[in-house]
Amino acid sequence: MQLASKSYDIDSISAVQELYHSSGWTDGLPIVPPTADAVQACLEWAMMPPDQLIGIEPVRGLAITAEKLAINAVMAGCLPMHFPVVVTAWTAMMQDEFLMHGATASTGGCAVLVVLNGPIRLELGASGTFNALGNSDRATAVIGRAIRLCLINLMDVRPGVIDRSTLGHPGKFSYCLAEDEEDSSWLPLAEQRGVPKGASSVTVMAAGAPRQLMNEWTTRPEEILETFAAEMRANLRHYSIHPGNYALIVPKQLREHLQAAGWTKTDIAAFIHERARIHRREWADVGKGAVVRDRGDSVYPAMESPDQLLVIAAGGPAGGFGAVIPPWLGNKSHAVTLPIGACIDCEPPKK
Amino acid sequence: MTFRVLDPTTEKAPPAGRLAPRLDTLEGKTIGFISNGKEGTKGFFRHLDQMLREEHGVARVVSRTKSNYSAPADKHIVDEIRSWDAVVSGLGD
């Protein structure tokens, strides 16, 4: 397998680190040296030739090849078995509705949330339980990091270059989680979004930082979900009025109450859609009175429709801690779900 | 021990755009504004419109606003650019 990338002969591991840091090729953490052997192993695992075109970034016309994704995946710490997830996530990010350039360049400072579903979670040891949104396991840590390193090196999404984030958030180092499908009676996220049962898949969403909440004081579904809805209303007031994909992370302790009462993800989304909305006049309560104007009575829902809500079962076995993950900027970017290994360009164009 | 490591970047500059020919004068010209639609653009472009007409003799100012301020300009706006002498864009955050 012939690789096309320029190579450098470096004397020591510390010199490798300095080359990559000084060239602006890292996220500030040490990298795994991307040798030809390691990169070829990733490509062989995914059965991809180095020059396979994953896509062309639509705004600046940058071609993204499997070889370059693999180099960055190795740097992030990925093993070959992690690489198909990185490829699928990037394929999803390059769909028009994701609006990758806008989402990664914006002052809004979102990160790419990656959600894993299906058997691949178990094959990779990706855990959706303890510390689900943090350093839960190796697979989600390195996959999430690979997404960011690819953005940095393949699209110049470096701070102050293409990345114009005012603040950003810690998810820009790595923002990947696996859904806890084993300890939930709910449909997995990907199945809820149309992927066949049993297929491994990746969902990507341009996402703000998680907003953590807690309600351990009730077993009633309406009260539990009211806490989630209130957090979303706070986001509509404090951050952005734009409706779009919100993700809810529901841990086991809260899931059990919802599931015991027979609530499905569809029921949850319908309830949240009704409750997570504000009047424009509420902006005046939080210092944004200047833009209320004569539209104070207008109502702004967090989602245009219930199916924009991504309900994800994840979190450790104890604790009534959930999270709302808000969208970068409402409908300007849409979450995309793709099965791993499926070819999305193989079918004839739809009429 | 020597490591032979690979370049993680695209190694190719993105396809370069070409600047339009510069204008000798603004006198009598048609200038297009492409606004991203953000709040701060309104006063800015209103003021620029006035300056161009009153101080530089611009004949006509055409204002257009993108439907999505985080995405490239809509096709119908891009198609219209050829009928302008110059365009002001990329401003207003």
Please count the other Cβ atoms lying within 10 Å of the Cβ belonging to residue A145: 25
Q: What is the pLDDT of residue A346?
A: 53
DSSP H or E stretch at residue B64: strand B60-65
pLDDT level of residue A126 (50, 70, 90 thresholds): very high
ipTM of this complex: 0.92
Mean pLDDT of A81-89: 98
For residue B21, being part of any structural domain is answered with no
What is the average per-residue pLDDT within A193-199? 96
pLDDT confidence band for B91 (50 / 70 / 90): low
Interval A25-35: pLDDT, tens: 999 999 999 99
The pLDDT of residue A80:
98
Please state the domain extents for chain A: 13-339
State the count of interchain CB pairs (< 8 A) between A and B: 92
Q: Which residues neighbour A57 within 8 Å (Cβ) at sequence distance 6 or greater?
A: A63, A64, A94, A100, A101, A154, A155
pLDDT the model gives residue A345: 57
Q: What confidence category does residue B13 fall into, taking pLDDT thresholds of 50, 70 and 90?
A: confident
How far apart CA A128 and CA A136 sit, in angstroms, is 8
Residues of B whose CB is below 8 A from A166: none
A55 close contact with B: CB closer than 8 A: no
In this predicted structure, the answer to whether residue A343 has a pLDDT above a threshold of 70 is: no
Q: Is B77 left (phi over 0), alpha (psi -120 to 50) or beta?
A: alpha
Q: B60 vs chain A: nearest CA distance in angstroms?
A: 30
Chain B partners of A332 at a C-beta cutoff of 8 Å?
A: 68-71
Residues of A in contact with B2 (CB under 8 A): 9-11
A69 lies within 8 A of chain B by CB? no
Answer yes or no: is pLDDT of A202 > 60.
yes
**Is B1 in Cβ contact with A6 (below 8 Å)?**
no
d(CA A20, CA A30): 9
* pLDDT band for position A59 (cuts 50, 70, 90): confident
Q: State which residues form the domain around B67.
A: 30-88
Give the count of domains, chain B.
1
Q: Which of B2, B12, B39 sits opposite A9 (nearest CB)?
A: B2
CA distances from B70 to A163, B39, B90 (A): 13, 14, 11
- pLDDT for B14 equals 75
A41 touches chain B (CB under 8 A): no
Q: Return the residue matching tokens 């969208």.
A: A327
Q: Is residue B83 included in any domain, yes or no?
A: yes
The predicted model gives B41-45 an average pLDDT of 89
d(CA A204, CA B46): 39
Q: Given CB atoms, is A329 within the 8 Å cutoff of chain B?
A: yes
- Residue B82 domain flag: yes
B50 in a domain, yes or no? yes
How confident is the model at residue A11, as a pLDDT?
96
State how far the alpha carbon of A350 is from the alpha carbons of A10, A208, A335, A345, in Å. Answer: 50, 34, 21, 11
By percentage, how much of chain A surpasses pLDDT 90?
94
**What pLDDT digit, counting tens, does each position of A131-180 carry?**
999 999 999 999 999 999 999 999 999 999 999 999 999 999 999 999 99
Residues B89, B81: Cα–Cα separation, whole Å? 11
Is the Cβ–Cβ distance between A212 and A321 less than 8 Å?
yes
Decide if B6 is inside a domain: no
What is the model's pLDDT at position A344? 57
Cβ contacts of residue A264 below 8 Å, gap of 6+? A186, A187
pLDDT class of A24 with cuts at 50, 70, 90: very high
Least CB–CB distance from B71: residue in A13, A72, A102 = A102
Q: Rounded mean pLDDT of chain B?
A: 90
**Looking at beta carbons, which residues of chain A come within 8 Å of B1?**
11-13
Residue with tokens 């953000």: B38
Rounded Cα–Cα distance for residues A274 and A305 (Å): 10
Q: What is the mean predicted confidence (pLDDT) over A313-337?
A: 97
Contact of A312 with A250, CB cutoff 8 Å:
yes
Query: Across chain A, what does the average pLDDT equal?
Result: 96
Q: Euclidean distance between the first and final Cα of chain A, in Å?
A: 38
What residues 148-177 of chain A have any CB closer than 8 A to a CB of chain B? 149, 153-154
Q: What pLDDT score was predicted for residue B45?
A: 92
Q: Which of A11, A13, A153 sits opposite B9 (nearest CB)?
A: A153
Give me the pLDDT at residue A242, please. Answer: 95
For the sheet containing A176-178, what is the strand order? A176-178, A111-117, A201-207, A336-339
- What pLDDT shows up at residue A350? 55
**Looking at the predicted structure, is the pLDDT value of residue A88 above 60?**
yes
Give residue-wise pLDDT tens across range A260-302.
999 999 999 999 999 999 999 999 999 999 999 999 999 999 9
